[in-house]
Amino acid sequence: MTPKHPDSIGTALSIDVEDWFHTDCLKGVIAREAWERCELRVERNTMRLMEILEARKARATFFVLGWVAEKCPDLVRAIAAAGHEVASHGYGHEHVYSLRPSEFRSDVLRSKRYLEDLTGTAVRGYRAPCFSITEWAIPILQDAGFDYDSSVVPTVAHDRYGQLNGMHAGRPIVSLREGFYEAGISCIRVGVGKRGIPWGGGGYFRLVPYALWLAGVHAILRSGTPYIFYIHPWEIDPGQPRAAGIDLANGFRQRVNLHRCEERFASLVGAFEWMPICDLVDQWKAGHSGQPH
């Protein structure tokens, strides 16, 4: 195993707890009404990720989908009992920008309250499904009791991602409002611009050769920028069902290198000292107290 990188800047690990059939890639072939009939694999996959974290004494943030929490309450309790941060991924895995503000408020409150009932701990963080955050959602999140969001990928145009003003590939943590922060997914900054190449997880992590990915993480850290990574439990599950009717592009997105992802993830976890996103935000706040936003 590669020695862990003793970095004081901060490396934060996050897991979006949703199942294989919740993904946008399958939205066109698996209707929401069919979720109840799909094989539930999220519990075993999430527990496997937790085993990897435990073996390497790493802590992470688990953004739990409310739908999953209702099906697997013991899983949520296990995540919290293991010392990880439990945060919200909303309830119904709908794009934020597809909802009316009132619908969005109901969705996040339903998820937040249920997770807090299960864990007995305040839920501080939120991540939008498919990173679909938008400006009008931020005051709603703060009013609902969240103090940070982690939904921005400061990259060039993407067919699913949302955007927030003021984000920068070289500044992943930004104060958006008094007492509310954005912890964006890491990108490798390109030139002097504000956008970068996504380098924070997901399909990019499965596609890019691992040695190159690791070099990119080190480059981000050498620039003085914290690193924020994410993964989904279904990404370590090559045995997940194959959905009939999926097109080639979405099939590639869903399944590329699933068979290699668990090994890569274990290597990455072993390479750095990880913390939950809430701790990274608190560390950033402590280092920027008294500075203008």
Backbone dihedral region for residue 145 (phi beyond 0: left; psi -120 to 50: alpha; all else: beta): left
pLDDT 10s digit of each residue in the chain, 293 long? 444 544 457 999 999 999 999 999 999 999 999 999 999 999 999 999 999 999 999 999 999 999 999 999 999 999 999 999 999 999 999 999 999 999 999 999 999 999 999 999 999 999 999 999 999 999 999 999 999 999 998 876 545 666 777 776 677 899 999 999 999 999 988 766 667 889 999 999 999 999 999 999 999 999 999 999 999 999 999 999 999 999 999 999 999 999 999 999 999 999 999 999 999 999 999 887 655 44
Q: Which residues have a Cβ under 8 Å from the Cβ of 135 and sit 6 or more positions away?
A: 164, 165
User: Could you give the angle at the alpha carbon of 52 between the alpha carbons of 47 and 58, nearest 5°?
Assistant: 110
**Cβ 244 vs Cβ 29: under 8 Å:** yes
Helix (H, G, I), strand (E, B) or coil at 255: helix
Helix ranges (H only) for the chain are 42-55, 66-71, 73-81, 101-119, 137-143, 203-207, 210-222, 248-255, 258-271, 277-287
Q: Provide the residue type at 168 as one letter.
A: H
- Going from the N-terminus, what domains does the chain have, and what CATH number goes with each? 11-287 (3.20.20.370)
Q: What is the pTM of this model?
A: 0.93
